[in-house]
Amino acid sequence: MDVLAYASPAAKAPFERTTVQRRDVGPRDVLLDIKAAGICHSDIHTGRDEWGPATYPLVPGHEIAGIITEVGSEVTRHRVGDRVGIGCLVDSCRTCEHCERGLEQYCLNGAVGTYNSTGKDGLPTYGGYSAQLVVDQDFALTIPDALELDAAAPLLCAGITVYSPLNHWQASPGKQVAIVGMGGLGHMGVQIARAMGAEVSVISQTRSKEEDGRRFGAEHYYATSEDGTYKRLRNRFDLIINTVSATLPMRSYLSMLRLDGTMVNVGAPSEPMEVPAFSLMGNRRSWAGSSIGGIPETQEMLDFCALHGIAAVIEKIGPDQIDEAWDRVVASDVRYRFVIDTTQIT
Ligand code: NAP
Ligand code: ZN
């Protein structure tokens, strides 16, 4: 079936309204009308070839919220009219050890990305900057009624990407947790870590987001542009979640970990970062990474956010404003997630 979308025809080229081909609804598929799509910094890394050459035309978007309009004959999980979310994955092998544990993001046979991938139907995958999407029922998450669709969309990537490591490394009462970078991922990290009961600090470049950081639940707020910040924070945190899209001076950040503390990298800069061995040896520190989250944990995160009244703080834009929004994300000038009103893609 032909579907309207906004696509980038080549690396760094402006978006154009176009038509892409998706498969027809199969027995286990659902078709949704996309109501909102978040803009993740990963869309930009991909569309500017910062992670290597992408496949064009590129229709990004893996923070998708919509309403089901058709279901295949064997679909049992969803019904027409259901509010669903699609994140970064649209398929995986489902039989490997990791898939069996609900860790589809680490599928040993390669999960299928929502865009810039090839689906099991042999077609290129196209993401949420689009009017409609066909997806296997198992990769459509239920969006609880308590969440608005547009503010829920960013949870499908930004939310789960910070929820998963906060959960795994047990952000909880008595733990000192720092969130580095308060953009799309970071502002979700502050809210979720606080709801898990941890004492939360924001480490931002400037003081410009301080009031918001405290409103999201941070008890402490630090600006790295101020002299002495790194020194002041030595041996301070149990867990640091680094959401920054650029490289950081790792020596300074690792020195902030107290005994047995862990710094988790979720930010994905294109350039490598240097980690001196001595920065890890002191205080028996760990440096780890984490990638999005599996399907069961993503549903758990959506339910957790609904229960705690947490959602993304968004700036809604029309599809004709995507290029401008991308530039503003790169300039750290977004409060705190752009969401495209995909109902305007007509
Ligand atoms: P974003 O909205 O642009 O937020 C990144 C934040 O990092 C900015 O708001 C800014 O916060 C800070 N920052 C930017 N440039 C910086 C610099 N040069 N030095 C220090 N701080 C800087 O991006 P996002 O959508 O949250 O994504 C963040 C990163 O996570 C991207 O690299 C993205 O690809 C990656 N990501 C990874 C996963 C995963 O599965 N691991 C999933 C999604 C995204 P302040 O203004 O507060 O300083
Ligand atoms: Zn993302």
- Please tell me the predicted confidence (pLDDT) of residue 9: 97
What are the backbone dihedrals phi and psi of residue 19, each rounded to the nearest 5 degrees, phi first?
A: -120, 135
What's the CATH number where 166 sits? 3.40.50.720
Q: What is the CB < 6 Å shell around ligand 1? A: 40-42, 45, 157-158, 161, 181-186, 204-205, 209, 243-246, 266-268, 290-292, 329, 332, 334
Q: Ligand 2 centroid to 249 CA: how many Å? A: 23
- For ligand 1, what atom is nearest to the CA of residue 185? 26
Q: Whose CA is nearest to atom 1 of ligand 1?
A: 183
Gap between the Cα atoms of 186 and 211, Å rounded: 14
Pocket test for ligand 1, best of 164, 332, 335 (most atoms within 8 A of CB): 332
Across 281-310, b (16+ Cβ under 10 Å) vs e yields eebebebeebebbbbebbbbbbbbbbeeeb
Q: Ligand 1: which residue has its CA nearest to atom 38?
A: 266
Question: pLDDT digit string (tens) for 224-251?
Answer: 999 999 999 999 999 999 999 999 999 9
Q: What do you get for the CA distance between the two ends of the chain, in Å?
A: 15
pLDDT at 307: 98
Please indicate, yes or no, if residue 306 is contained in any of the structural domains. Answer: no
Q: With respect to residue 114, please indicate whether it lies within any of the assigned structural domains.
A: yes
pLDDT of residue 103: 98
Pairing of strands 220-223, 257-265: unpaired
Give yes or no: residues 203 and 147 share one domain.
no
Same domain assignment for residues 203 and 265: yes
The number of the ligand 1 atom at minimal distance from the alpha carbon of 208 is: 46
Distance CA 9, CA 58 (A): 6
Token readout for 133 is 């999407």
Is residue 232 a part of any domain in this protein?
yes
Interval between CA 174 and ligand 1 midpoint (Å): 27
In a domain, 32, yes or no: yes
**Residues 147 and 270 both lie in one domain:** no
State whether 145 and 34 are in the same domain: yes
Read off the amino acid at residue 262: T
What's the DSSP call for residue 53? P
Query: Hey, how many other C-beta atoms are within 10 angstroms of the C-beta on 125?
Result: 23
CA dist., res. 152 & res. 158, Å (int): 10
Q: Which domain holds residue 256?
A: 159-289
* Ramachandran assignment for 329, one of left (phi > 0), alpha (psi -120 to 50 degrees), beta (any other): alpha
Distance 173 CA to ligand 2 centre (A): 28
The CATH number of the domain where 54 resides is what?
A: 3.90.180.10
Work out whether the CA dihedral 66, 125, 88, 76 comes out positive or negative: positive
Residue 88 shares a structural domain with residue 167: no
CB atoms within 10 A of CB 148: 16
pLDDT in tens, 323-338: 999 999 999 999 999 9
Spatial separation of the C-alpha atoms in residues 235 and 176, rounded to whole Å: 11
At residue 148, the pLDDT reads: 98
Give, for all 346 residues of the chain, the pLDDT tens digit. 999 999 999 999 999 999 999 999 999 999 999 999 999 999 999 999 999 999 999 999 999 999 999 999 999 999 999 999 999 999 999 999 999 999 999 999 999 999 999 999 999 999 999 999 999 999 999 999 999 999 999 999 999 999 999 999 999 999 999 999 999 999 999 999 999 999 999 999 999 999 999 999 999 999 999 999 999 999 999 999 999 999 999 999 999 999 999 999 999 999 999 999 999 999 999 999 999 999 999 999 999 999 999 999 999 999 999 999 999 999 999 999 999 999 999 9
Site to substitute for ligand 1 among 245, 290, 338, most atoms within 8 A of C-beta: 245
Q: To test the ligand 1 pocket, which listed residue (105, 162, 163, 244) has its Cβ within 8 A of the most ligand atoms?
A: 244
Cα of 211 vs centre of ligand 2, distance in Å, is 25
The answer to whether the predicted template modeling score (pTM) of the entire model surpasses 0.85 is yes
Residues 140 and 172 in one domain: no
Please give the pLDDT value at position 259. Answer: 98
For residue 64, the CA-to-ligand 1 centroid distance in Å is: 19
The gap from C-alpha 210 to its chain's centroid, in whole angstroms, comes to 22
Residue 58 pLDDT: 98
What is the rounded CA–CA span in Å between residue 221 and residue 1?
A: 50
Based on the domain organization, do 181 and 256 belong to the same domain? Answer: yes
What kind and span of H or E run contains 329? helix 322-330
What is the Cα–Cα distance from 327 to 106, expressed in whole angstroms? 31
Q: Which atom of ligand 1 is nearest to the CA of 290?
A: 41
Q: Report the pLDDT value the prediction gives residue 331, as an integer from 0 to 100.
A: 95
296 found inside a domain: no
Q: Are 162 and 189 in contact (CB under 8 A)?
A: yes
User: Which atom of ligand 1 is nearest the CA belonging to 336?
Assistant: 2
CB half-sphere exposure, 25, CA atoms < 13 A: 15
Asked if residue 152 and residue 6 are part of one domain, the reply reads yes
Centroid of ligand 2 to alpha carbon of 161 (angstroms): 8
| Nearest Cα residue to atom 16 of ligand 1 | 246
Residue 299 falls inside a structural domain? no
Residues 6+ apart with CB under 8 A from 231: none
Q: Count the domains in the chain.
A: 2
Task: Choose one of 163, 185, 216, 328 to mutate for the ligand 1 pocket test, by most ligand atoms within 8 angstroms of C-beta.
Answer: 185
Residue with the two structure tokens 């993401």: 127
Predicted pLDDT at 122? 95
